[in-house]
Amino acid sequence: MTSIKNLSDSQSNSRSSNCSSESATTTAPDISYRLNFERFLEHLVDVTLTFTASNDTPCLWLPAWIPGSYLMREFARHITAVHYQVEDRQLVEDKKTEGKESASDYQAINCLESKHRAQKIDKNTWQLPQVEAGQVLHVHYEVYCYDLSVRTAYVDQQRLYGNFTSLALAVEGQEQSPVKVSLLVPEVFLTAQNLENQHSANEEESKNISNVVLACGLDATHLQTVSQDGDGQHGYRLQADSYYQLIDHPFEISKQQKFDFIIQDEEHQTLSHRFFLSGKHSANMGRLQQDVTQICQTYLNWLGDAPFNDYTFMTYASGQDYGGLEHINSTSLITPRRDLPSSDEPDLPSAAYQRFLGLCSHEYFHAWWVKTVRPDVMLDVDLRKEAFTPLLWVFEGFTSYIDDFMLQASGVIDKASYLTLLAEQINRYYQTQGRAHQSVAESSFDAWIKLYRNDENTGNAGISYYNKGALVALCLDLTLLQKSAGRYRLFDVVKAFYSQAKQNDNQRIGISSADMGTVIGQFMPIADWEAFESRYINGVEELPLEQLLAANGIKIQADNKETADKNVPWGMRCSETPAGLKVNRVQRDSAAAKAGISAHDVIVALDGIKADTKQLSTLSIAPHEVDCYLFRRDELICVKVQPKTEKQKELENNQSDDVNKPCPHKVSLRLARTDKLSESEKEADNLTSTPAWQAWLEVMTRYNG
Ligand SMILES: [Zn+2]
């Protein structure tokens, strides 16, 4: 068992910056943040940061990105001017002596000198001039919080949610000092929740405001204070060992439903888990508890123990939004409410609910695989600049393979459903032309400028390291099984890295491409790994999905109805609008691309007839050139499109050699039944009475007991 304390990020202070900073060698007093949510209706949070300067002219900085989401998000843009005041020590001492007031962080406010404006010295750093080492400072700033995502902060009358990467300015040189946070919730926020409850159908619920609670992976103390003007203030006090530990713990204060559950590790120690759900929804909480418990327990059965003592799921149910972010002992999720289980959820979860369970599974696994074992560059990372790594495919790819796989391994979905999810992954890959142009290692490296900034050309130029990474993980798993004659698989590779992390002092490790080779080399011949790496990871060779799946008793079948000609006629993805057919994407080398049709064009007429989906589909295969009238911005253009002819299509379909045959647009997967295989197929697959897929899909037989 490991404690969270041991796992707190111990990042070095040795950063270069424009700011002079001496590292705090003596034990610095606590740094405290006071977050006042009184202006929640305006989406503003008023923050007061109190600390003792460890050097003259101290600096404060805010991260530009949040771990787990690799884009420079420039959180500093939501901070309005920063002011500061120096505490008058003499006055504080006098008051203490008089015994009138304590010098607590609330009352010290009476002993402050006049306000100064902090000076910005770069995009996310503020300098405090005229401050000397040893002075106690009170820094004030407001943060605009109205981004409904798991990466930033959001406050309104329904919820107070935040990541400290958006809210807490770090004191340069004191990032390792302990941190205290007060979250002060005004009475009026509770009243707003109460009013809302009065409209609730559930009368019991409407009387009860005690379900306005805090969800956070950090331990919290409840605060109940009365201010000088007699107003009640309600809130929470959090503590973290360091700034880096603080920013790994998002929080939410709102009306939430909650359940607790216990997971056991292999030593039969109990790990308490909490699941919070906020937002408007009518989820079947009992069912959710049952399925999430089963999934989490399966991870523990496989991995033996966890890098945390307790774990918190925080979920916000919304209309459309979707996302998740991993933390060391919690995760913040946002999901469409329709993805949550219904009161009459069938035994086999609906496709929407499977998606939510997949999200829970994904982020939970990240506690081991990203937070504990991570790319080397993410170990002591500077959150003010990009951290480039070719290994995101290892972390997000393995996780994207294992998340759905574990749904079937835990039994919450059946094997056929898992194969449907896997087929969707394969279809996304086959439908992305960019896979022939960007390797999955390059895709990882360029995440900062490409994956999170996709545009109309993204699918033509590259491939997602989530999508291809998941399929590379599948191929690696099946290759390991094959090369080790069924003894080892990807799950053993992950476990080997995790045990290395546990032996490390800070219970975390950063790994490089070379480390991948060293560990994988323990499970299969190194030459085979090197060939795999050069073809499928650093290279852009087509993944051997069909062969590997077939060898493991899975039939991959092209869908003859859902063809490219039907779904992406002329290589275009369009949506029908009252103005005409709006072009969303154009595939490279397609009839549309060659004719000069571009994304964002609005096609108004085809062959002299008003353009709509039906008209386009009748012309997707045609023996003649088509006149296509379209608006590009506000200008009318006519282009000539040369569709595929019936004859060309036939030739394509009858293409005998595998290399030139285009990948199917859509496939489905099914378990091969040994009794339906011919004798020669059985021989080829070396099948006897046990279907080949058992060795692949029934992973838990290796780890259970
Ligand atoms: Zn992830």
Compute, in angstroms, the gap from residue 510 CA to the centroid of ligand 1.
Answer: 17
**Residue 701 domain-assigned?**
yes
* pLDDT per residue as tens digits for the range 173-197: 999 999 999 999 998 898 877 666 5
Contact by Cβ (8 Å): 625, 641 = yes
Predicted local distance difference test score (pLDDT) of residue 206: 47
Of the given ranges (206-215, 311-320, 605-614), which has the lowest mean pLDDT? 206-215
The tokens for 110 are: 């009476």
Q: How confident is the model at residue 5 (pLDDT cuts 50, 70, 90)?
A: very low
Q: Which residue would you say has higher pLDDT here, 206 or 195?
A: 195
Give the pLDDT mean for 302-319. 98
Distance 682 CA to ligand 1 centre (A): 38
* Shared-domain flag, residues 571 and 496: no
125-138: pLDDT as tens digits = 999 999 999 999 99
Mean pLDDT over 390-413 rounds to: 98
Q: Which of 458, 325, 330, 304 is nearest to 4 (CA)?
A: 330
Q: Is position 657 within any domain?
A: no
Total number of residues shown for the chain: 705
In the beta sheet, which residues pair with residue 423? none
Q: Is position 472 within any domain?
A: yes
Longest CA pairwise span in the chain (Å): 98
Assess whether 375 and 473 both reside in one domain: yes
15, pLDDT greater than 70: no
Q: What is the pLDDT of residues 568-605, one digit of tens each?
A: 999 999 999 999 999 999 999 999 999 999 999 999 99
Mean pLDDT of 192-215: 64
- How far away, in angstroms, is 366 Cα from ligand 1 center? 7
87, 112 contact by CB (below 8 A):
yes
Going from the C-alpha of 49 to that of each of 27, 242, 459, 550, 668, the distances in angstroms are 18, 15, 45, 61, 56
- The answer to whether 62 and 124 have CB atoms below 8 angstroms apart is yes
Q: How far is the CA of 405 from the centre of ligand 1 (A)?
A: 15
Q: What's the CATH code of the domain at 640?
A: 2.30.42.10
Query: What does the alpha-carbon distance between residue 144 and residue 661 come to, in Å, rounded to a whole number?
Result: 54
Distance from the alpha carbon of residue 67 to the mean position of ligand 1, in angstroms: 11
Given 224, 249, 274, the domain boundary residue is: 249
Q: Positive or negative, the Cα torsion across 193, 198, 201, 204? A: positive
Q: Assign residue 245 the CATH number of its domain.
A: 2.60.40.3650
CA atoms within 13 A on the CB side of 56: 2
For residues 640 and 596, the answer to whether their CB atoms sit within 8 Å is no
C-alpha 331 – ligand 1 centre gap (Å): 11
Q: What is the distance between the terminal CA atoms of the chain, rounded to a whole angstrom?
A: 19
CA of 359 to the centre of ligand 1 (A): 9
pLDDT at 505: 83
Whether residue 686 sits in one domain with residue 580: no
- Greatest mean pLDDT among 14-18, 677-681, 693-697 lies in 693-697
Residue 690: per-residue pLDDT: 77
What average pLDDT does the segment 519-536 reach? Answer: 98
pLDDT for 681 equals: 56
Q: How many CA atoms lie within 13 A of 320 on its CB side?
A: 0
Does one domain contain both 334 and 378? no
pLDDT (tens digit per residue) in 651-682: 887 776 666 678 899 999 999 875 555 555 55
593 and 684 part of one domain: no
Return the bridge partners of 183, or none: 35, 236
Going by pLDDT thresholds of 50, 70 and 90, the confidence category of residue 649 is: confident
- Does pLDDT of 412 surpass 70? yes
User: What's the confidence (pLDDT) of residue 190?
Assistant: 87
In a domain, 1, yes or no: no
- Using the mean position of ligand 1's atoms as its centre, give its distance from the Cα of residue 372 in Å: 13
164 & 242 share domain: yes
Q: What is the CATH number of the domain that holds 332?
A: 3.30.2010.30
The per-residue pLDDT for 679 is 59
* Angle subtended at Cα 174 by Cα 168 and Cα 179, rounded to the nearest 5 degrees: 50
- pLDDT value, residue 676: 54
Query: What value does the mean pLDDT take over residues 434-450?
Result: 97
Question: Whole-number mean pLDDT of the chain?
Answer: 90
pLDDT for 25 equals 42
Domain extent for 300: 256-353
- For residue 12, what pLDDT is reported? 35
**Do both 372 and 316 map to the same domain?**
no
Q: Does some domain include residue 520?
A: yes
| pLDDT at position 692 | 87
Cβ atoms of residues 174 and 241 within 8 Å: no
* Number of compact structural domains in the chain: 4
Same domain, 213 and 341: no
pLDDT at 691: 84
| Residue-wise pLDDT tens digits, 249-282 | 999 999 999 999 999 999 999 999 999 999 999 9
Distance from Cα 378 to the centre of ligand 1, integer Å: 14
Q: What share of the chain is helix, strand, coil (3-state, %, to 5)?
A: 35, 25, 40
Q: Do 381 and 498 have their domain in common?
A: yes
Predicted local confidence at residue 4, as pLDDT: 32
In a domain, 660, yes or no: no
Beta strands in 517-569 (DSSP E): 554-558
Q: 223-249, pLDDT tens digit by residue?
A: 876 666 656 678 999 999 999 999 999
- The stretches of 456-533 forming alpha helices (DSSP H) are 458-461, 467-483, 490-503, 513-520, 526-532
CA of 70 to the centre of ligand 1 (A): 11
Residues 581 and 530 in one domain: no
Q: How far is the CA of 270 from the centre of ligand 1 (A)?
A: 26
* C-alpha dihedral (195, 199, 203, 205), degrees to nearest 10: -50
Residue 16 confidence (pLDDT) above 50: no
How far away, in angstroms, is 399 Cα from ligand 1 center?
A: 6
What's the pLDDT at 182?
A: 96
Distance from the CA of 466 to the center of ligand 1, in angstroms?
A: 8
* Nearest by Cα to 31 from 215, 262, 244: 244
Examine the pLDDT at 102 and tell me if it is beyond 60. no
DSSP calls for 645-685 = PHHHHHHHHT--STTTSPPPSSEEEEEPPGGGS-HHHHHHT
Nearest to 438, CA basis, from 458, 452, 419: 458
Q: Which residues pair with 636 in a beta bridge?
A: 631
Of the three residues 184, 218, 249, the one that is the final residue of a domain is: 249
Burial class (CB in 10 A: 0-12, 13-18, 19+), 691: buried
| Contact of 64 with 196, CB cutoff 8 Å | no
Instruction: Determine the distance separating the centroid of ligand 1 and the alpha carbon of 325, expressed in angstroms.
Output: 7
Q: Does 595 lie in the same domain as 484?
A: no
Q: What is the CATH number of the domain that holds 385?
A: 1.10.390.10
CB 384 within 8 A of CB 124: yes
How many whole angstroms from 212 Cα to the centroid of ligand 1? Answer: 29
Q: Are 444 and 590 members of one domain?
A: no
For residue 668, the CA-to-ligand 1 centroid distance in Å is 25
Instruction: From 329, 353, 377, give the residue that closes a domain.
Output: 353
| High-pLDDT (> 70) share of the chain, % | 87
CA of 362 to the centre of ligand 1 (A): 6
| Amino acid sitting at position 462 | G
Is the residue at 13 inside a domain?
no
- Has residue 545 been placed in a domain? yes
Report how many helices (DSSP H) and strands (DSSP E) the chain contains, helices first.
Answer: 25, 30
DSSP letter assigned to residue 701: H
What are the tens digits of pLDDT across the range 627-648?
A: 999 999 999 999 999 999 999 8
